[in-house]
Amino acid sequence: MDYLDPEEEFEMMHADELEMMNEMDFTTDAVKICSPKDTRRSLKFSTRFSSNEKIESERSFNLSSELNGVFPLSQTSVVSFNLDDNNENEAQPSTSASIINNKRYLDVEDLFGNTDDINFEDEELEPVLKRQKVDPLSDKDIKQQDLIKKIIDQRKKFKSGKRSNFLSSISYNSSNHTQPYESVSRRVPSWSFFPACDGENQRVYIRFRSADAVHEEISSLSWHTKSVQLLSDPVDEMIARAYEKIENNEAIRSGVNRNGVSILDNSIDNTAELWVQKYKPNRYLDLLSDESTNRMLLQWLKIWDKVVFNKEVNKKRKVIDVYDKSAGNKFTKKNQTLDEGLDENNCPKYKLALLCGPPGLGKTTLAHLVARQAGYNVVEMNASDDRNLTCFKRQLEATTQMCSVMSNDSRPNCLVLDEIDGAPVASIEFLIKFATEKRATRKKKTDKKEEKSFILKRPIICICNDVYVPALRNLRQNAFVLNFPPTSSVRLVERLMEISSYENIKTDMGAMTALGTKTNNDIRSCLSTLSCFRNQSVHLSHVKNANIGAKDMQKGLFTVWQEIFQIKKSCFENNPNSTSDGFSSQNNVMKDRINSVLKTVQSYGDYEKLCQGIFENYLILKPKDSSLTNIAEGLEWFCNFDKMMHVINSSQNYSLFPYLPYNFATWHCLFATFTWPKITYPSAAYEATMKKNKFKQIMDELMSGIIPSIRTFLHRDQVLLDTMPLLMHIAIPNLRSISTQLFTQKEKEDLAKVVNIMIDYGLNYFQERDADGSFNFVLNPCVDDAVKFPGLETFPTSSYATKQLISREIELEHLRKRMSHGELNDIIVEPDGLDENEKNVSTPKGVKGSRNKQVTPNHLQRLTPKIVGSTKVTKKKDFFGREIDSPAGHKHKEFRDEIVKSDVWFHFKEGYSNAVRKLVLMKDLY
């Protein structure tokens, strides 16, 4: 056997690599044994044992193996073996190399099948090896011969003995190929080697191993081990580390004595699930939520037994009935009666149950647990699922239909719709329809079995946080609503104590109670807060001072007001020595109170509303002392608040916002009492604004009605302050309730003046029907409302008849104004005493154009149709015929208006009764 030149070596090596790489590319079989781990390890070895080899080649090995590094399942046993190997290597680094060598050697022998000749060569090569010695294992070479022998022996043993399929398969697979394995190499390897020749007289180098290693290896070889070990580190190392850690822990917490077992538990727990999951109740009895609520839901589910399990539940119901009577809950009673009423279908009336309550009370847990308890298979849909209508429909139908199929062999489904308050309205509507409508259609189609299968026969439990979400309005009416009362703090504390003892948290009742109050009896946040104190002892101060776990609870509006107006008694209970201690503790109480008010107000947020509520209530509530000092001071703070709010709103400067809650603290200090405050909702300001707007609208209307030549001199305020209040006094004519024809000149002038004023300011009276059916004339725009104050009835109101008269005159005056554009200054007034036929004939009037305004009453003088003589006489005559009768008069007016508006007018010369005769049809007039 010659030694190769370095150049040759190198060339050979590379040729080899290339060849191998090529082979590996298309024959995965060849690489099967060569796991990435192996190659990595080989890399390690190369660095560890060799100083003068080419690492490059090893790298390429790595690369090639990783390229095809797929592990067929059949070879898991090999993997395990290799890994074991690895572990041992780590543990005993001195022998590792030889162990590997040994193994590889074995492999190689297997691979090469007939290796009798190799054995000979091995013996022959022995001196060469001695000479060549380059590695640190040189001192062991004497042993190597023994080793080889042993190997051979072992091999023979294996050969003769039963072989595993794996090995045979390997030998079969790789018999045709050169094995890319570190134990055997065709080039000069980096490890301690043993040159040999293969069947074709090619040089191979076989890895050396120490005798001890081989020994151990062989003894530990177990081909039947099938367990897959995936630990990255050897077990004993891990144990050693664990002990180290334990020691450290103990050193840290020397004060706490604990036993080793629990410590071990803890260290493992670090990777375990959340406490919320871990300590989730698994039995009905473990439930922490309110007992009666639990029972109610369970009972509701039990009602389904008849339809779902075909099982009579009567007995049980009676028992429950007793319970319920004691509980006094109306819902369950309803259910019971309905259950019996709906025997035909055997379904309870409410097919849906709606659990509602704030988060962390255990609603979901309850639903799941109770459903399981009642023998259902729980199907949950929550906000994380897609809940648009189609998906929801599909899911809902699938669940219920699956029920009908599976109910025979498996547990029936119970659908739990979690977080339903976030679901789209359409989906909820569909759910309601699904639950209720089917029941209605059922009556027709009871006989048909197919139809029956569509009826909702499985319980559906809905869970929500807020029942009063608009989307749930219908659901609320159609479902059995269960309101979750808050968890009783006693039970919560018990459970927390239990858990903390499991978790080795040293704590006491007080701390847990504080924790409960801090989180508002939310089990979930209690546990998550508690998990922050893992491996510590928890005391009251810890809980109180920890700035975690507190929820920003938004309280109701009234609760906040109540908190401001009422001094909590608990403030004093917490510090029992406050009364005796005197000033300093008194200060503390004050501080606590202020802090609590600040917190509540800050978490509520809507300061403006809160402030309004306080403003409208503080005077109603019984004040601390009757003196006004507090009130005056409080009001100063109200002004302050308002100013701040104004600045914030007008300049959008929200940096002032944090200072607003301090106003509430002051009001609390000034107004709070021990008595329970009866608070009303602040509506006065809102009502005032509404009324103000109404009056403003009236004024707008008025302003737009005033004729421009006057309006230009007036502003809104001036109209409101000066003109209108006084106008109400002025525009009241002092008229007797007699016919207009009988008015004196002064009265006529008064009337004309009032009419003109009202026209100037765009006012008029309109007839309106009162609530009791009587007619009344109302000023429009109703300025009198706007300028009138309650308790002050200074300006007189005109009588109905006067208003009517004024209204009529205003109408006429308007007409006259409209006509003044044309030539016709005259108005023909139809007297009411005339017959229909005589309507065609009207009295003429031609002279009075000049004094149009003053003349208005004079129109009425012309009311008599035929009499041409003195009008005054006719007036009287006419008047004697009728008393002033308002409805008649009104009719009269309307009648006249119709005529006046029509296009046809007749002029009669004064003094002539028959000046013009013309045939006019009625239809022409209208």
Partner 1 sequence: MSLWADKYRPNSLQKVDYHQDQAQHLTNLVNQGDFPHLLFYGPNGAGKKTRILALLRQLYGPGVERLRTEHMNFMTPSNKKFEIMTVASNYHIEVNASDAGMYDRIVVMELIKTVAQTHQLDSTKQRHFKVILLTEVDRLTKEAQQALRRTMEKYMATCRIILCANSIGQVIPAIRSRCLAVRVPAPTHEDICKILKTICKKEGLTLPDELALIISQNCERNLRRAILMLEASKVKQYPFDVKQSVVVPDWQLYIGDTAKQILSQQTPGKLLEVRSMLYELIVHGIPTNVIFKFLLKELVKNCDISLKHDIVEIASFYEHSLLKGNKTMFHLEAFVAKFMLLYSKFMEESLHGIF
Q: List interacting residues with partner 1 (CB under 8 A).
A: 615, 619-620, 623, 626-629, 631-632, 635-636, 638-639, 641-643, 645-647, 649, 684-685, 688, 691-692, 695-696, 699, 703-704, 708-713, 715-718, 720-723, 725-727, 729-730, 732, 734, 752-753, 756-757, 760, 786-792, 794-795
Report how far residue 699's alpha carbon sits from residue 790's, in angstroms, rounded to the nearest whole number. Answer: 19
Report how far residue 287's alpha carbon sits from residue 274's, in angstroms, rounded to the nearest whole number. Answer: 18
Query: SS3 of 780, please?
Result: strand
Nearer to partner 1, 406 or 710 (CB): 710
Token pair, residue 214, equals: 């081989």
Closest CA to 300 of 408, 173, 532, 460: 460
Shortest Å distance, C-beta 692 to partner 1: 5
Nearer to partner 1, 73 or 639 (CB): 639
Angle CA(913)–CA(914)–CA(915) in degrees, nearest 5?
105
Shortest Å distance, C-beta 805 to partner 1: 17
Count of C-beta atoms within a 10 Å radius of residue 316: 14
Q: Are 643 and 572 contacting, i.e. CB atoms less than 8 angstroms apart? A: no
User: Which residue shows structure tokens 């709010």?
Assistant: 645
Residues 6+ apart with CB under 8 A from 489: 513, 516, 517, 521
Residues 6+ apart with CB under 8 A from 749: 854
Shortest Å distance, C-beta 784 to partner 1: 10
Nearer to partner 1, 395 or 764 (CB): 764
Residues 6+ apart with CB under 8 A from 364: 416, 418, 463
Token pair, residue 82, equals: 């290799």
H or E segment and range at residue 379? strand 377-381
Token pair, residue 567, equals: 């001094």
Nearer to partner 1, 398 or 726 (CB): 726
Nearer to partner 1, 9 or 749 (CB): 749
Residues 6+ apart with CB under 8 A from 346: 306, 307
φ, ψ for residue 206, nearest 5 deg: -115, 140
Report how far residue 146's alpha carbon sits from residue 636's, in angstroms, rounded to the nearest whole number. Answer: 106
Nearer to partner 1, 311 or 696 (CB): 696
φ, ψ for residue 476, nearest 5 deg: -60, -35
Nearer to partner 1, 388 or 794 (CB): 794
Shortest Å distance, C-beta 550 to partner 1: 33
Shortest Å distance, C-beta 729 to partner 1: 4
Shortest Å distance, C-beta 349 to partner 1: 51
Helix axes 629-651, 607-617, angle to 10 degrees: 160
Closest CA to 865 of 899, 889, 839, 826: 839
For 623, which DSSP code? P
CA distances (Å), origin 180, targets 67, 79, 110, 768: 14, 17, 14, 111
Closest CA to 603 of 555, 549, 662, 667: 555
Cite the DSSP H helix spans in 706-832.
708-711, 716-718, 724-730, 745-760, 783-787, 800-819
Distance of CA 553 to the CA centre of its chain: 15
Report how far residue 301's alpha carbon sits from residue 482's, in angstroms, rounded to the nearest whole number. Answer: 13
Token pair, residue 190, equals: 């980096």
Shortest Å distance, C-beta 637 to partner 1: 9
Contacts 24+ apart (CB under 8 A), 43-46: 45/97, 45/100, 45/182, 45/190, 45/191, 46/190, 46/191
* DSSP assignment string, 473-520: HHHHHHEEEEEPPPPPHHHHHHHHHHHHHHTT-B--HHHHHHHHHHTT
φ, ψ for residue 523, nearest 5 deg: -60, -40
Q: Are 861 and 871 contacting, i.e. CB atoms less than 8 angstroms apart? A: yes
Q: % helix / strand / coil in the chain, to the nearest 5?
A: 60, 5, 35
User: Which residue shows structure tokens 């009719």?
Assistant: 891
Shortest Å distance, C-beta 795 to partner 1: 8
Shortest Å distance, C-beta 815 to partner 1: 18
